[in-house]
Amino acid sequence: MSGKQNFEISCDPNDWWTTQRGASPIVGTAIHNGHNVRSDLLSLMALSDAERLREEDPFTEFTIRDIRNRIVFHRSRFEVDLNRAREGAVYLKPEQAWGLNVWKKAPPNDAVETSLRVHDDYYTMLTSFLRGVERSYSRFVVLDIHSYNHRRNGANAAPTNVDTAPEINIGTSSMDRERWGGVVDAFMEKLSSFEFRGRRMDVRENIAFQGKGEQTRFIHEMFPKTGCAIAVEFKKFFMDEWTGEPDPEALEAMRAMIASTIPVLEDALKAMR
């Protein structure tokens, strides 16, 4: 897959996450970007690499590289899903994983607990990270970047109807919309007005997803007056979701689009004061 490496972050197979801190109240996260699974679990998994990759969010890290504050998780969501509450963060039943049989043999309790400790440590780190941004800027915005499949019936089957599958879905269900509405509206307006490869993106709120993930919920609970967490779901128009092959031009445009929202978000935060 030529050129794919240019869109992937380099990390050690044993790394959990990478953080970057800079001078900005805007934070970008890519917590489903990772693909690595530790060896004691990989030997128990029934899923192939390709099957895991299909439900992960590859290349989402690339889209936030111009945000000065970044958090990227390197483990697969099939090892531990940071966007689920702790009790459901390890997929033990098919109904937790889109009907997929994840395991050839159920992981032992101590292996599950090892994964859950990563979940615990991540949220401890996230709290400290965001407290630092809060101290510097009083308020902050987290862009929680994800992606979703729209060709679940096969590579050559019809895609999900566009009525229920916007190109960019903005999830806000856990947010105090009255408090943060000016920030979210400015963000969505900028995304909608961005010239994306000669056209405008279809950007809608709470259509395919409602932003019910654990990370945004946690941020709004921990930082109710100072933290605005926006769940951003890109439909996988930027890659072949069945082969994993990226569309380089689309990814570059997505990165430029996210970068264009940074000054807009910073101005919206300042306008709240």
pLDDT of residue 1: 38
Structure tokens at 252: 């570059």
Kindly give, in sequence order, each residue whose CB lies less than 8 Å from that of residue 95, ignoring residues fewer than 6 positions away: none
pLDDT of residue 3: 53
* Percent above pLDDT 90 for the chain: 96
Summarize the confidence of residues 247-258 as an average pLDDT: 97
pLDDT of residue 268: 98
Summarize the confidence of residues 248-267 as an average pLDDT: 98
Structure tokens at 260: 């264009």
Higher pLDDT, 4 or 60: 60
pLDDT of residue 240: 96
**Is 5 a residue whose pLDDT tops 90?**
no
Cβ atoms 211, 175 nearer than 8 A: yes
CATH of domain 4-271: 3.40.630.40
pLDDT of residue 4: 66
Q: How confident is the model at residue 157 (pLDDT cuts 50, 70, 90)?
A: confident
* Percent above pLDDT 70 for the chain: 98
Q: For 64-113, how does the pLDDT look when each residue is reduced to its tens digit (9 = 90+)?
A: 999 999 999 999 999 999 999 999 999 999 999 999 999 999 999 999 99
> How many Å apart are CA 168 and CA 126, to the nearest integer?
25
**Is 273 a residue whose pLDDT tops 90?**
no
Tally Cβ neighbours within 10 Å of residue 216: 24
Summarize the confidence of residues 250-261 as an average pLDDT: 98
Q: For 210-249, how does the pLDDT look when each residue is reduced to its tens digit (9 = 90+)?
A: 999 999 999 999 999 999 999 999 999 999 999 999 999 9
> How many Å apart are CA 66 and CA 261, to the nearest integer?
10
Q: How confident is the model at residue 2 (pLDDT cuts 50, 70, 90)?
A: very low
Bridge partners of 233, per DSSP, are: 146, 169
Structure tokens at 43: 């030997």
Kindly give, in sequence order, each residue whose CB lies less than 8 Å from that of residue 76, ignoring residues fewer than 6 positions away: 34, 35, 36, 37, 52, 56
Structure tokens at 60: 């989402």
For residue 69, give Cα distances in angstroms to 126, 141, 186. Answer: 12, 10, 20
> How many Å apart are CA 224 and CA 44, to the nearest integer?
40
**pTM, entire model:** 0.96
pLDDT of residue 12: 94
Break the chain into its structural domains and give their ranges.
4-271
Q: Which of 95, 18, 1 is nearest to 53 (CA)?
A: 1
DSSP string across 228-239? EEEEEEEEGGGB
> How many Å apart are CA 100 and CA 53, to the nearest integer?
13
